[in-house]
A and B are shown apart, each in its own frame.
Chain A
Amino acid sequence: MIRIKCPFCGERDHSEFTYGGDASIVYPALDASAEEWHDAVFLRENIRGMQSETWHHVNGCRMWLVVQRDTVTHEIRSVRPAHEATAKLFAASEEEVA
């Protein structure tokens, strides 16, 4: 029953999105060692509380988003485009408005 404020589309029902995964993972370079890749692909924290995660607005604008969500209360603290340059553009335009 979560509602996500997509920066591109506005507030939408969770049924329009698919869950991606842990947004805090930094994937290693393609030529990094198997150990580094193992850690990035398989090791996950099981967080109780605020978690940074990716969601895909798959039945909407098809943008990947980074969502800060509390795993206990489902409270969503923030939503931003996962694409960093796009996220910066958004942040800048918000500052302008402010």
Chain B
Amino acid sequence: MSAKRLSEGGRIDRSKRIRFQWDGRAMSGHPGDTVASALLASNEKVLGRSFKYHRPRGIMSCGVEESGAIITVGEGAKRDPNVKATMQELYDGLVASGQNAWPNVRTDVGSVNSLISQFLSAGFYYKTFMGLPPFETGKGTGIWMWYEKFIRKAAGMGRASREPDPDQYEHGHLFCDVLVVGSGPAGMSAALAAAEYGLDVILVEQDNELGGDLLGQKGSDIELRRTELVGALENAGVRIMTRTTAFGLYDYGTAGLLENVTDHLASPDPHLPRHRFWTLRARRTILATGGIERQIAFDNNDRPGIMNASAGRIYLNRYGVLAGEQVVVATNNDSAYRCAMDLSDAGAEVTLLDARAKIPGRLLELIGDRGITLMTNSAPLSAKGLNGVNSLEIAGGKAGGWRSKGKEVCDLLLVSGGWSPVVNLISHRGVRPVWNAENCCFIANEPHEGICMAGTAAGIWNTADCEDSGTAAGEAAAKALGKATGSGGASTSMPAVGGWDMPIKPLYEVRIDGRKSKALVDPQHDVTTEDIRLAHREGYVSVEHLKRYTTLGMSTDGGKMGNIIGLALMAEALGKEIPEVGTTTFRPPYTPVSIGALRGRSVDEHFRPLRRTPMHDWNLAHGATMTMAGLWHRPWYFARQGETITEAYIRETETTRKTVGLCDVTSLGKIAIQGPDATEFLNRIYTNPFAKLPIGKARYGIMLRDDGFVMDDGTTWRLSETDYFMTTTTAHAGKVMVWLEELLQTRWADLRVHVTSVSEQWAGCAVAGPESRTVLKNCVNDPSVMEDSAFPFMGVIETSLKGDIPCRIARISFSGEMAYEAYVPSDYAHALMEMLHPEAVAVDGCLYGLEALGALRIEKGHVTGAELDGRVTIEDAGLGKMASQNKSYIGSALRRRPDMTREDRPKLVGIFPVNRSEKFNAGTILCKKGEVSGLGEGWITGVTHSPALGHWIGIGFISGGHEAWSGKTATAADPVRSKEVQVEIVSPHMYDPSGERMYG
């Protein structure tokens, strides 16, 4: 028997009971408990299994460095693996389970891995990848795949849920004068000092209460001081954020904060986000992030029942749990004396091992006549007991090493190997921490970018000194920000580093040469002292390599538990001092950040907003099935009763060619280009001449990039001397707009041109087919404007529709039929369709969608974004005659580079199946007949059934173009779908090549 809840003491509310489930069993705790403290109070020893060897693990700490009690919380979609039981607050109905064990953590089949552990040493994964000499046949990935099946089953952390995350997350921004991270004595004092100078201060604390170390100390005077400070902070207007972790520091005084909003609640308000991700910008930052107590490496130092000395004290003073009855406290520094005293006062039988030989009188006075057995010059050597420590073999110091000096029965072993100030955050800013040999820790106390350290994070050990250092840091921040000037200014001086009565004795490992041991350095990744030495023997000298080879410090605690011991052992193996070995780089996040918090609200339609045209509802009401085109929703086809998509688009295509079809083309980009130099501007960006485009005419244009490849195509309409209306493809609308702005602002500042995106202002409908003129004639106020003589091919008119709806119409054709594009201000979109549609129906016309639009344009060999993919020259697209020989324009110099004018470049072609009854797919590779290999000779970008031709046709690119393939058969290969079709390569103008219908 050992751990138990005491009848009084601590910050828990014994009057209320919280019920929860652990590994399928009903348990209970109290408000104020964490899962760890509640399980400890119930004397649960084994809470997890280790990563590689499945060693039993219990609670090792009381904070974010926890490496033993790593559990899964929640069920179903809300299952969250790798939660530190020490950080998870208890709530009613919480469901938790152990990880990495089957059937459960107490009886685990995988623990057999312990028996083969010599094969799972440092670099195991790398070695299996490289093969196991001398069995060279087993080289490489083959042997890895053989091993992998077994390794995967046995190793690993928890399992994430595979269901979509049902929770919401938020992003927010914060600004303040001074950010204080950590609310221990130093942090609270710093925040208070800065706030008292009238500065806007934010204090963040990862815990659920302010106080830091004060929460784990005993005595009413301590609690009095804490509440006094909290009250003063509130009065001074400090913005306090608890359950909030500053996980990273970035440029410009930016801190990343993760606020846990609901993880501690049984039934949170459904409107609350689970986490908030804050981007905070502070003018000054004070890091009062405290310290983390270190372990010492000795045989079986990871057994359940072994934890940090400070944790044993916190479980007692904060949670009212006495973690053991027969306790050994092992230390190499002063800090564990308080722990020994508190546990002794609570009724435990305490033996205190101090690795130091002489103990100063003040410490002896402190422990007084409590009956604590003090053994100096002593250290832990080997823990006994598999699922819970039951005794400890003790080492006594001798010249140059250790000897065994007997056993001590115990049910709890508390270890203090010294303290590591939390310097992670300032390291994120590129600051290299400096080794302080006297205190055996890395510190980073030089202020950098307005960031400074305070309290234990600065290597200051005593509570009173911590308060002073916080006050000094707060005053310094105020001074730097122009407050605290003159004689009334900063007065507190920064205390010196350290503060113990007697120096710490450097002690990282206790072992006796020649004796086998299993001493863990990084318990989460099962990295042992032997692994470090093995890595050294195998030639690793850099800590960065050591880390990657052994995986030391790469587990979910980020090396908080074992990094320093690892460095010390490496230094010893290399015969160097720790500073010469250096430390690895700390990187954000300090503690894990949920993926949900990173994405915030950027999910579904918030990630990919839906763009609807002003005709959206009208289209839906008229039977449209919609499809995505970029962010746009566009009509795909308008099925009539029982029609399939194929039947529908074939009917729409046939109807359009026979009578008339209407299609929503609003998603095209539209840009107003205005100003005295608009003509010159267009003439520079388009490959074809625009200088002499008459008013009332439109022209199809191609624009290139600087490097000579095609950027986009579209029509530009001249409305007046100085006013043009440009259309772009749907896909490139945004890009073209940015490009025009760049040219006008950075290159051609002398051109007096203004560009304005008017895509949202104009709604458009294509009216295509032999009856298109009839339809529009019946809609315009003055039918004479539609006469062929008044409105020829490529003509533009600005007129009004019945009801005086303003309208601009161009006679342009993407379908190859006589066709018009009519645009009205967006508010009139519905009215436009209401007017056009009955007129179209009256002449047996119909609505058509993207699928029919595709069929019509493929029959004609017209290009879209699928063809203009950024790798295509104007010649490749078959539009070479649009490249003017008489002027220079963007891309004209570089489009003539040798590789871009090669004869065998893939060129736009049409594709027919040799056997006209066969079908093939877009995305198919075109190869020489029977030579299906490599990249082939080309590719297919679009495929449709052609009602006009009566068979399937395609559009795509093939080396040399259709002339090079006349009389030859190519193979359209689709290896993914195991399909090959023999095809003929033809001109891309597959239907009405002379364009008679269009000029109609």
**Once bound together, how far apart are the Cα atoms of A54 and B739, in whole Å?**
13
Cβ–Cβ contact B746 & A74, under 8 A:
no
A29-83 at interface with B (beta carbon < 8 Å): 29-34, 36-38, 40-42, 54, 56, 58, 62-64, 73-74, 81-83
**Once bound together, how far apart are the Cα atoms of A90 and B869, in whole Å?**
40
* Any A CB within 8 A of the CB of B707: yes
Which residue of B706, B707, B893 contacts A33 across the interface (Cβ within 8 Å)? Answer: B893
Cβ–Cβ contact A27 & B747, under 8 A:
yes
Cβ–Cβ contact B894 & A62, under 8 A:
no
With known contacts A58-B738, A74-B251, A83–B893 Cβ distance under 8 A: no
Cβ–Cβ contact A41 & B746, under 8 A:
no
Cβ–Cβ contact A54 & B893, under 8 A:
no
CB of B352 to closest CB in A, whole Å:
48
With known contacts A30-B889, A32-B893, A37-B894, A84–B749 Cβ distance under 8 A: yes
* Any B CB within 8 A of the CB of A2: yes
**Once bound together, how far apart are the Cα atoms of A64 and B896, in whole Å?**
30
Closest A residue to B254 by CB, please name it: A1
* Any A CB within 8 A of the CB of B892: yes
B856-891 at interface with A (beta carbon < 8 Å): 888-890
B69-85 at interface with A (beta carbon < 8 Å): none
CB of B609 to closest CB in A, whole Å:
13
Residues of A near B894 (CB, < 8 A) are 34, 37-38, 41
Which residue of A1, A32, A56, A83 contacts B738 across the interface (Cβ within 8 Å)? Answer: A56
Cβ–Cβ contact B893 & A2, under 8 A:
no
Question: What per-residue 1/0 map shows which CB atoms of A8-40 lie under 8 Å from chain B?
Answer: 000001000010100100011111111011101
Residues of B near A27 (CB, < 8 A) are 706, 747
* Any A CB within 8 A of the CB of B250: yes
CB of B83 to closest CB in A, whole Å:
29
Residues of B near A83 (CB, < 8 A) are 744-746, 749
Closest A residue to B890 by CB, please name it: A30
* Any A CB within 8 A of the CB of B150: no
Residues of B near A30 (CB, < 8 A) are 684, 888-890, 892-893
* Any A CB within 8 A of the CB of B607: no
**Once bound together, how far apart are the Cα atoms of A30 and B685, in whole Å?**
10
Cβ–Cβ contact A54 & B746, under 8 A:
yes
**Once bound together, how far apart are the Cα atoms of A56 and B684, in whole Å?**
22
Which residue of A38, A58, A74 contacts B252 across the interface (Cβ within 8 Å)? Answer: A74
* Any A CB within 8 A of the CB of B741: yes
Cβ–Cβ contact B745 & A20, under 8 A:
no
Residues of A near B747 (CB, < 8 A) are 27
Cβ–Cβ contact B892 & A1, under 8 A:
no
CB of A66 to closest CB in B, whole Å:
8
B737-753 at interface with A (beta carbon < 8 Å): 738, 741-742, 744-747, 749
With known contacts A1-B250, A1-B254, A41–B707 Cβ distance under 8 A: yes
* Any A CB within 8 A of the CB of B897: yes
With known contacts A30-B888, A30-B889, A1–B251 Cβ distance under 8 A: yes
Which residue of A40, A41, A56, A84 contacts B741 across the interface (Cβ within 8 Å)? Answer: A56
B699-743 at interface with A (beta carbon < 8 Å): 706-707, 738, 741-742
Question: What per-residue 1/0 map shows which CB atoms of B240-262 lie under 8 Å from chain A?
Answer: 00000000001110100000000
Residues of B near A29 (CB, < 8 A) are 888
Residues of B near A82 (CB, < 8 A) are 745-746
CB of B533 to closest CB in A, whole Å:
38
Cβ–Cβ contact A62 & B890, under 8 A:
no
**Once bound together, how far apart are the Cα atoms of A2 and B252, in whole Å?**
7
CB of B124 to closest CB in A, whole Å:
39
CB of B498 to closest CB in A, whole Å:
33
- A: interface residue count bin: 20 to 34
Which residue of B279, B281, B742 contacts A56 across the interface (Cβ within 8 Å)? Answer: B742
Cβ–Cβ contact A1 & B252, under 8 A:
yes
Closest B residue to A76 by CB, please name it: B252
* Any B CB within 8 A of the CB of A97: no
Cβ–Cβ contact A37 & B250, under 8 A:
no
Cβ–Cβ contact B741 & A34, under 8 A:
no
CB of A57 to closest CB in B, whole Å:
10
Cβ–Cβ contact B741 & A64, under 8 A:
yes
Cβ–Cβ contact B745 & A63, under 8 A:
yes
CB of A77 to closest CB in B, whole Å:
14
Closest B residue to A54 by CB, please name it: B746
**Once bound together, how far apart are the Cα atoms of A81 and B744, in whole Å?**
12
Residues of A near B251 (CB, < 8 A) are 1-2, 73-74
Closest B residue to A72 by CB, please name it: B430
With known contacts A30-B888, A58-B738, A37–B746 Cβ distance under 8 A: no
Closest A residue to B742 by CB, please name it: A64
Residues of B near A56 (CB, < 8 A) are 738, 741-742
Closest A residue to B449 by CB, please name it: A73
| Of listed B281, B746, B749, B889, residue having the most chain A CB within 10 A | B746
Residues of B near A84 (CB, < 8 A) are 749
Cβ–Cβ contact B252 & A3, under 8 A:
yes
Cβ–Cβ contact A20 & B742, under 8 A:
yes
Closest A residue to B705 by CB, please name it: A41
Residues of B near A63 (CB, < 8 A) are 745
* Any B CB within 8 A of the CB of A85: yes
Residues of A near B254 (CB, < 8 A) are 1
Closest B residue to A42 by CB, please name it: B707
CB of A6 to closest CB in B, whole Å:
13
Cβ–Cβ contact B706 & A37, under 8 A:
yes
**Once bound together, how far apart are the Cα atoms of A69 and B281, in whole Å?**
20
CB of A78 to closest CB in B, whole Å:
16
Cβ–Cβ contact B893 & A37, under 8 A:
yes
Residues of B near A18 (CB, < 8 A) are 738
Residues of A near B890 (CB, < 8 A) are 30
Cβ–Cβ contact A62 & B741, under 8 A:
yes
Cβ–Cβ contact B749 & A85, under 8 A:
yes
**Once bound together, how far apart are the Cα atoms of A1 and B256, in whole Å?**
10
Cβ–Cβ contact B892 & A64, under 8 A:
no
CB of A68 to closest CB in B, whole Å:
15
Closest B residue to A30 by CB, please name it: B888
Question: What per-residue 1/0 map shows which CB atoms of B893-904 lie under 8 Å from chain A?
Answer: 110110000000
**Once bound together, how far apart are the Cα atoms of A1 and B251, in whole Å?**
6
CB of B707 to closest CB in A, whole Å:
6
Residues of A near B279 (CB, < 8 A) are 1
Residues of B near A81 (CB, < 8 A) are 745
CB of A9 to closest CB in B, whole Å:
15
Residues of A near B892 (CB, < 8 A) are 30-31
With known contacts A30-B892, A37-B893, A64–B746 Cβ distance under 8 A: yes
Residues of A near B684 (CB, < 8 A) are 30
Cβ–Cβ contact A34 & B749, under 8 A:
no
Closest A residue to B683 by CB, please name it: A30
Residues of A near B889 (CB, < 8 A) are 30
**Once bound together, how far apart are the Cα atoms of A40 and B705, in whole Å?**
13
CB of A43 to closest CB in B, whole Å:
13
Residues of B near A62 (CB, < 8 A) are 741
With known contacts A2-B252, A74-B252, A34–B896 Cβ distance under 8 A: yes
Residues of B near A23 (CB, < 8 A) are 746
Question: What per-residue 1/0 map shows which CB atoms of B513-537 lie under 8 Å from chain A?
Answer: 0000000000000000000000000
Closest A residue to B746 by CB, please name it: A82
Closest A residue to B256 by CB, please name it: A1
**Once bound together, how far apart are the Cα atoms of A32 and B747, in whole Å?**
15
CB of A76 to closest CB in B, whole Å:
9
**Once bound together, how far apart are the Cα atoms of A36 and B747, in whole Å?**
16
Cβ–Cβ contact A34 & B893, under 8 A:
yes
| A-B CB proximity, top 4 nearest | A30-B888, A37-B893, A31-B888, A64-B745
A interface vs B, CB < 8 Å? 1-3, 13, 18, 20, 23, 27-34, 36-38, 40-42, 54, 56, 58, 62-64, 73-74, 81-85
21 contacts between A and B (CB under 8 A): A13-B173, A18-B738, A20-B746, A27-B706, A27-B747, A28-B893, A30-B892, A31-B888, A33-B893, A36-B893, A40-B706, A41-B894, A42-B707, A54-B742, A56-B741, A58-B738, A64-B741, A64-B742, A64-B745, A82-B745, A82-B746
Known contacts A30-B890, A30-B893, A56-B741; 5 additional CB pairs below 8 A are A1-B251, A23-B746, A30-B888, A81-B745, A82-B746
